[in-house]
Structure 1
Amino acid sequence: MFQTQNSIHCKHYSIEILADILSLPKRAIEARLSKGELKADPYTGLISSEQVEHLPELQSFKNSIWEQEQSIKPVRKYNLVELFAGGGGLALGMEQAGLESVFLNELDKYACQTLRHNRPHWNVVEGDISNIDFKIIKENVDILTGGFPCQAFSYAGKSLGFEDTRGTLFFEMARAINELQPKVFMAENVRALLTHENGKTLETIKNVIDELGYELVDPKVLKAIFYKVPQKRERLILVGIRKDFAKKVQFIWPSPYQRIMTLADAFYKGELYNSDVPVSEGQLYPKRKQDILKYVPQGGYWRDLPDTLQREYMQGSYFLSGGKTGMARRLSLGEPSLTLTTSPAQKQTERCHPIETRPLQVREYARIQTFPDSWEFKGSMNAAYKQIGNAVPVNMAAALGRALVRLLNDIEKI
């Protein structure tokens, strides 16, 4: 069994795990080691916690109240509407936090089949969000969530308000908020939204949220590895509180879990799962690609190949600048996975199994996103990969869900 040693009580960190915690490239930690700013054990290569525990990221582990947050429960039933629901990662996490889904919208027919199959009682409405009249929802909506796909807005001569976002999927989410008037909403998106169009896109979104009568909590990029997810995924989270409550409550971001989960935690029986990962369907490599990737070590990529194979595999890209670290990439059992994409075998974002020379299988993909093994994906194998790759990791969604339940409980006291 592959063991990991990186709890908050642990005395040492690997270079890779420390780099993940500090959001630094591995070479930055190696540079500190070579300068003598950090010292590694000569036998294990590990760095003692005393050298780094003063850093804010390590302090957040030390001061975590994750265990206390597990006990947060809704003081009454809170109704949730979810838009752009996908294969259910966010909705499942919200359910684990105690929120009740009363309406879920999704365009992709296979994702809708997945949602209906796993939760027959959920009200899954399939179709284009722009065709939905949200007034059909008769329940009082406490919270609205969703990950709207980010399209560019046009800025020429605009006042950057609600009407200016028409034709974008954010506009549809804003329309739902306007019609349903939830007490709280949460939107998630890619980190790049922070800097999209030099920050103009986010500024437009902030203006619209204000116009709708909501106070936006300072947006934050959350790293999934801090929330019991064995994956280096980052998501930008936007939380809005209706202005009649906003001045009387405070949203508190979830605390990090006690340690960083790795691929070993995802694939083997232990803290995350009570059994090894089941065998499932998965893509396969063409024979020549498999022959080449056999030479890549755990955690390695194309530069670890012999030069003749580098040239064959990379072709014209061999001569281009840039690291291209996703190419011919093999994952490592001792680290979290790289961010999953909608396919495990794309040339630019290779996700090769750490030990076997093959792409990750569907259930391995699902475990890296912390879906339970009982959650079945409908549609073809490629449809399953797409649903999983686009999902919010379930454990991160649950941590956010508990923070949102705490906020709703505080609003309920007013």
Structure 2
Amino acid sequence: MVIMEEFRHERLSCLAVCAGAGGLALGLEQAGFDPVLLLDNRPVACETLRLNRPDWNVLESDLLDFVPEEHRECYDVDLLAAGLPRVKASAAVRREDSDEELRLLEATVMLVHGVQPRALLIENVSELASKPAYEPIRAVVEAELEHLGYEYAWFVVNAMWHGVPQDRKQGILVALKGDSMRDFVPPPRDTDPPPTVGEALGASMAARGWPHAAAWAAQADQVAPTLVGGSWNRGGPDLGPTGSKRSWARMRVNGGTVATDVPGPDDRWDPSPDGADLVKLTVEQAARLQGFPDDWSFAGGKTVRYRQVGHASPPPVARAFGLAIRAALGRRGPAPRDRQ
């Protein structure tokens, strides 16, 4: 478990768009950035944000319809942060009829022109930051940032490098106004290995008296495969595609669904490697595998709650990059985190 000293230094300002369930904003809050506004077009995501932070200024609106002139608090913020829907490389060749994900990326870069933040942080698929197929998209973003006077860098980061018990790669774009980018140092990887699934979830599996919790946790000795939120428009909750389900099955987890509650004292479990009894994870356990704290709640029914978790950005990664951006801007951050 991560323990953080209470933040005692100067708070900075942040505008968060496509905020989702708040993973990016929560991690940045831990790094000392307070949001002046959070924007998302899904009512349930906005409900989640308000549920956890009643004082946050949450606006339910599509980014493509957002007019910064109507929200003067957004001007001259320290950081513009965007947890954007996953951009597909194929969108780059359809400029007049591009995918919505690409339009949202372009809208975010244009928002830089409107609000003039000191720094920009965009989180997306790892391929956006590294694959040749995405080069046309990167070129458009880079040209606009250079025109606006920003220097930038792309990064591929794995959430498990920052204590998240999940093998989850992310593409990160950091841009800083003027020459501040030369002072940006990418966050270092944790020196300790990330918790395994068993270490992260063992206590919660035992919460209702399941007698097999310790044995299950001992054999769940790997980090989780990437959690996938799936489509908002169809299907029920599951933990990912076929390959991920096979990885879950090796840890004796049913990756095809999500449970309402953890196992109880009468639930069966065969400890043999080829046993047929698989446990199901709850939404709250999935959230822990994303790096959310236990007191972060998600609005809606089970499927919608899991969708929010699966699509979220892990807060510890956002915290790490938030601290690195603070340092580049010349602002002190909180004490390094310790492990318990």
Cα deviation, residue 74, structure 1: 7.7
1:344 corresponds to 2:253: no
1:200 corresponds to 2:121: no
Aligned positions of 1:1-12 closer than 5 A: none
**2:82 maps to which of 146, 161, 182:** 146
SS in 1 for 2:108: helix
Contact kept? 2:92, 2:134, Cα under 8 Å: no
Contact kept? 1:277, 1:363, Cα under 8 Å: no
Amino acid at match of 1:259: D
Cα deviation, residue 364, structure 1: 1.1
Length-normalised TM-score, structure 2: 0.74
Cα distance in structure 2, aligned partners of 1:74 and 1:188: 27
- Could you say if the C-alpha distance between residues 205 and 277 of structure 1 is closer, same or farther in structure 2, counting changes exceeding 3 Å? farther
Contact kept? 1:143, 1:182, Cα under 8 Å: yes
Contact kept? 1:263, 1:332, Cα under 8 Å: no
Contact kept? 1:77, 1:99, Cα under 8 Å: yes
Look up the match of 2:311. 390
Look up the match of 2:163. 228
Cα distance in structure 2, aligned partners of 1:234 and 1:167: 20
Contact kept? 1:73, 1:405, Cα under 8 Å: no
Amino acid at match of 2:187: P
Cα distance in structure 2, aligned partners of 1:360 and 1:410: 40
Cα deviation, residue 81, structure 1: 0.5
Aligned positions of 1:299-310 closer than 5 A: none
**2:185 maps to which of 223, 241, 252:** 252
- Could you say if the C-alpha distance between residues 171 and 409 of structure 1 is closer, same or farther in structure 2, counting changes exceeding 3 Å? same
Residues 382-407 of structure 1, C-alpha deviation per residue, up to 9 Å, x if partnerless?
A: 11111100111122221222112212
Cα deviation, residue 228, structure 1: 0.6
Considering Cα pairs closer than 8 Å and 6+ residues apart, tell me whether 1 or 2 has the greater RCO.
Answer: 2
Amino acid at match of 1:408: L
Cα distance in structure 1, aligned partners of 2:93 and 2:143: 13
Look up the match of 1:122. 56
Amino acid at match of 1:146: A
Cα distance in structure 1, aligned partners of 2:220 and 2:94: 49
Cα distance in structure 2, aligned partners of 1:409 and 1:75: 12
Residues 193-224 of structure 1, C-alpha deviation per residue, up to 9 Å, x if partnerless?
A: 1326352222222222212221112x110111
Cα distance in structure 1, aligned partners of 2:61 and 2:95: 33
SS in 1 for 2:139: helix
Cα distance in structure 1, aligned partners of 2:190 and 2:101: 39
Cα distance in structure 2, aligned partners of 1:216 and 1:378: 35
Residues 95-115 of structure 1, C-alpha deviation per residue, up to 9 Å, x if partnerless?
A: 111111111111111111100
Identical columns (%): 29
RMSD of aligned alpha carbons: 3.2
Cα distance in structure 1, aligned partners of 2:6 and 2:185: 13
**1:409 maps to which of 319, 330, 334:** 330
Look up the match of 2:18. 84
Aligned positions of 1:358-397 closer than 5 A: 358-397=279-318
Cα deviation, residue 77, structure 1: 2.4
1:94 corresponds to 2:28: yes
Look up the match of 1:183. 118
SS in 2 for 1:220: strand
Stretches of structure 1 that go unaligned for 5 or more consecutive residues are 1-65, 159-164, 270-274, 280-297, 299-330
Cα distance in structure 2, aligned partners of 1:148 and 1:105: 11
Amino acid at match of 2:176: I
Stretches of structure 2 that go unaligned for 5 or more consecutive residues are 209-215, 230-236, 254-268, 270-276, 333-340
- Say which is worse superposed, 78-87 or 355-364, in terms of deviation: 355-364
SS in 2 for 1:115: helix
Cα distance in structure 2, aligned partners of 1:406 and 1:203: 27
Q: How many residue pairs end up in the alignment?
A: 282
